[in-house]
Amino acid sequence: MKPTPTPAEMDKAFRNRDASYDGIFYVGVRTTGIFCRPSCPARKPLAKNVEFFATAGEALFGGYRPCMRCAPLKAGGEHPDWASKLLERIDDAPSVRIKDGDLRALGLEPAKARRYFLGRFGMTFHAYCRARRLGKAFDEIRNGGRLDEVILTHGYESHSGFREAFLNRFGKPPGRTRGGDVIRVAWIETPLGPMAAGATAKGVCFLEFTDRRMLEAQFGALSRRFGLAIVPGENELTHRLRSELDGYFAGALKKFTVPIEYPGTDFQMRVWRALLEIPYGETRSYEDVARSIGSPGAVRAVGHANGLNRVAIVIPCHRVVNKSGELGGYGGGLWRKRNLLAIEQEAPPDRRRAPR
């Protein structure tokens, strides 16, 4: 489960409208049936009337609807100012080590940074920095940089230390990575919450909402499937995906054109290709999909493969519903499935509260 601060710390942050906790946890107000960000400007209810959630999805499934004032689903809670500045500092100089003492000098508690990065990115602050540093080193080596110079400019004191860190991250020594690839993982804000997007140089291979359980385990499985390391960062395809998702959620884009990679078993790939054939604004039943791939008796297997789709929205598994017309399951939450279908059918967003 996603880690959260103690109840006392969350209550204090909520009472103080501390925006640095936005995205770390959410607050459900029993008397109004809404949930908020910790920084919500609305009048604070009595302590007995609130409960805390690790993710927006948990609050929604707990029967709460998003607050109209603080919009907790908008961008999934944008980065608080201190986190934005920290991310800018890392991006400006990814090779520079930022130690706990440096964080304290900036007025930040290391534990706070650790919690935020773990909750938002699926890795601790120092793991994020280490991945960015090694990712930068990987690019330089792949593009012909001299190993000695790369080691010195990325904060490593010895060849052995660098080689060990590099081998642990990429599964091969530095000298064997020239011309290689990695999976770049970027975080994309959407009206239904933040999403993690992964892309190789050839195609987008991962897109999921960040509040899905076991996200870090999914990253591990993705790395093993492709035989590539995962590092935070952007490439041309994640930029392109971000732009196309903006158009999709605005109702202006009906077909994604960004290249995708989705290796799997022969059966899984037949199912995923069938999903790509479902027109925008339409749905198909699991039985329909099974018949379309020539396996009418494999309805349950189709449902399983549908659930294993790693590229949400782009490979539109949300367009598959039960034969009765009921929505069925969806890894990102049925409330998201309802809203994705509403976007495509040009219907108003589904405002119903999830059942308790």
157 and 200 inside one domain? no
Range of the domain at 143: 81-176
Selected catalytic residue, list 70, 129, 205, 317: 317
First to last CA, the chain: 20
Q: What is the pTM of this model?
A: 0.58
DSSP, res 173:
-
Tell me how many domains the chain contains.
Answer: 4
Selected catalytic residue, list 36, 67, 129, 205: 36
236-291 pLDDT tens trace: 999 999 999 999 999 999 999 999 999 989 999 999 999 999 999 999 999 999 99
Rounded to whole angstroms, the Cα distance separating 72 from 261 reads 32
What percent of the chain clears pLDDT 70, i.e. is strictly above it? 76
155 and 198 inside one domain? no
90 and 158 inside one domain? yes
Q: Which of 111-115, 236-240, 322-326, 352-356 has the lowest mean pLDDT?
A: 352-356
96 and 165 inside one domain? yes
* CATH classification of the domain holding 200: 3.30.160
DSSP calls for 281-292: T--EEHHHHHHH
- Predicted confidence (pLDDT) at residue 13 exceeds the cutoff of 80: yes
200 and 131 inside one domain? no
Q: Is residue 256 part of a domain?
A: no
Query: Is 67 tagged catalytic?
Result: no
Rounded to whole angstroms, the Cα distance separating 100 from 72 reads 30
- H helices, E strands: number in the chain: 14, 10
* CATH classification of the domain holding 113: 1.10.10.60
pLDDT of residue 157: 53
Q: Is residue 356 part of a domain?
A: no
- Predicted confidence (pLDDT) at residue 234 exceeds the cutoff of 60: yes
Q: Is residue 193 part of a domain?
A: yes
Rounded to whole angstroms, the Cα distance separating 356 from 200 reads 40
240 and 304 inside one domain? no
Q: Which of 224, 249, 274 is the last residue of a domain?
A: 249
| Burial class for 318, CB neighbours closer than 10 Å (0-12, 13-18, 19+) | buried
114 and 155 inside one domain? yes
Per-residue pLDDT band for 139 (boundaries 50, 70, 90) equals low
Per-chain mean pLDDT for the chain: 80
87-107 pLDDT tens trace: 888 877 777 788 899 999 989
Q: Is residue 107 part of a domain?
A: yes
- Predicted confidence (pLDDT) at residue 134 exceeds the cutoff of 70: no
Query: Is 317 tagged catalytic?
Result: yes
Rounded to whole angstroms, the Cα distance separating 74 from 66 reads 10
What are the angstrom distances between the C-alpha of 157 and each of 94, 112, 150, 163, 231? Answer: 16, 28, 11, 11, 22
Per-residue pLDDT band for 61 (boundaries 50, 70, 90) equals low
